[in-house]
Amino acid sequence: MTSPLPASWPTAGTITRRTRVVEGARALPPLAELLADQTPVVFRGLAAHWALAEAGRQGAQAAIDYLKRFDVGRPVVGYTGAPEIRGRYFYREDWAGLNFQAQRVPLSPYLDLVASHLDTEAPPSFYIGSTDLDAYLPGLREHNDLGLPSPAEGEPPTVSIWLGNRTTAATHFDMSNNLACCLVGRRRFTLFPPDQIGNLYPGPLEPTPGGQVVSLVDPAAPDLDRFPLYAQAAAGGQVAELEPGDVLFYPALWWHNVEALEPFNAMINYWWNPSPGFMDTPMTTLLHGLLSLRDRPAAEKQAWRALFDYYVFGDRDRPADHLPAEVQGELAPLDEASSRRLRARILQKLNR
């Protein structure tokens, strides 16, 4: 049985707060400055001069024709859904799978398929997500690029393109920081800070519609009888309304619901993380935590929480500060070589 909401909590699921907007920016602030603030921000019109945005101002067909100029014939993954899903890529109502099909398709004919439904009142849903820009549309970045500097730490940004008609990516999080450049069509991002996870009703860890766990709540029509705690998520959420040429920054692990609002939409995004590339994904740690910690007695879990706070979540240097360098082992700062040794040790323990 669901506990009643405290009287101080809102009862409506409407999100009223709007993401902060910077008008007239000529360039992004330093990435380190964006990360220091740890809050989403919209840079209005920062990419409005890009060639793809200019083509989009001439119409959807002009933008599609422009993109096709760079197609080198490599098949992409096209996600296609029936008109009945109304663009929301999600689970089937009976939970027997996902409500769309994914298949390898040639890019230009798939874009032509989108174009053939530009004037259809209730078209099928067409979506190409997270496609490597340089591999599939080489040369496009020459006139469509933020020109991000190489980070002092971590891997270079991953640059991807997202294409389709009116589609919705259900609320999820990514493990990297994101710069999302809306270039053709309008987009709406509904954003929630990481601490709202308990109020977003996450779905299964797998399968998932797009590779990451998604919230079961539709922010456009939240069912507060079924998901009453979402009211608090809505109180802490915010909405970024993007016009063509706008650039949105939001930090890693922020939950976001993404709606593409026009018959044709195009976005380029940059994912980056200042962590070194040799570090493993924390999702692996989470899965192992389910295996090794979740079902232990509550008192024992509290003791393990203290250990994790000391060794993992607290000051990185403290556990090794009082130890001679020659015996610090895994407590010393990791590098590529020591991370390989640690990974081998973990694998050896898991395979016992």
CATH of the domain at 26: 2.60.120.650
Residue 236 to residue 194: CA distance in whole angstroms: 10
| Average pLDDT per consecutive 10 residues, the chain (352 residues; last block may be shorter) | 48 86 92 93 98 98 98 97 97 96 97 97 96 98 90 80 98 97 98 98 95 96 96 97 98 98 98 88 92 95 96 94 92 91 89 80
Is the torsion defined by CA of 42, 48, 51, 54 positive or negative? Answer: positive
Q: Is there a domain that residue 252 lies in?
A: yes
**148 shares a domain with 98:** yes
What is the per-residue burial (b if ≥16 Cβ within 10 Å, else e) of 64-100? Answer: bebbeebbeeeebebbbbeeebebbbbbeeeeeebbb
Residue 23 to residue 247: CA distance in whole angstroms: 11
Supply the pLDDT for residue 13. Answer: 78
Q: Is there a domain that residue 15 lies in?
A: no
Supply the pLDDT for residue 271. Answer: 95
Q: Take residue 348 and report the two structure tokens written for it.
A: 């050896």
Q: pTM for the whole thing?
A: 0.93
Q: Which of 232, 251, 272 marks a domain boundary?
A: 272
**240 shares a domain with 297:** no
Q: Is there a domain that residue 212 lies in?
A: yes
Contact by Cβ (8 Å): 76, 105: yes
Supply the pLDDT for residue 14. Answer: 87
**295 shares a domain with 219:** no
Give the count of domains, the chain: 2
Q: Is there a domain that residue 11 lies in?
A: no
Supply the pLDDT for residue 151. Answer: 65
**127 shares a domain with 237:** yes
Q: Is there a domain that residue 103 lies in?
A: yes
CA 292 centroid distance within chain = 28
**304 shares a domain with 226:** no
Q: Is there a domain that residue 341 lies in?
A: yes
What is the per-residue burial (b if ≥16 Cβ within 10 Å, else e) of 267-300? Answer: bbbbbbbeeeeeeeeeeeeeeeeeeeeeeeeeee
Q: Is there a domain that residue 277 lies in?
A: no
**300 shares a domain with 172:** no
**288 shares a domain with 259:** no
**316 shares a domain with 258:** no
Supply the pLDDT for residue 153. Answer: 63
Identity (one letter) of the amino acid at 240?
A: A
**Residues spanned by the domain of 291:** 282-350
Q: Which of 272, 299, 317 marks a domain boundary?
A: 272
**51 shares a domain with 141:** yes
Q: Is there a domain that residue 177 lies in?
A: yes
**254 shares a domain with 162:** yes
**266 shares a domain with 145:** yes
**304 shares a domain with 241:** no
Query: Which is it for strands 187-192 and 238-242: parallel, antiparallel or unpaired?
Result: antiparallel
Q: Which of 230, 253, 272 marks a domain boundary?
A: 272
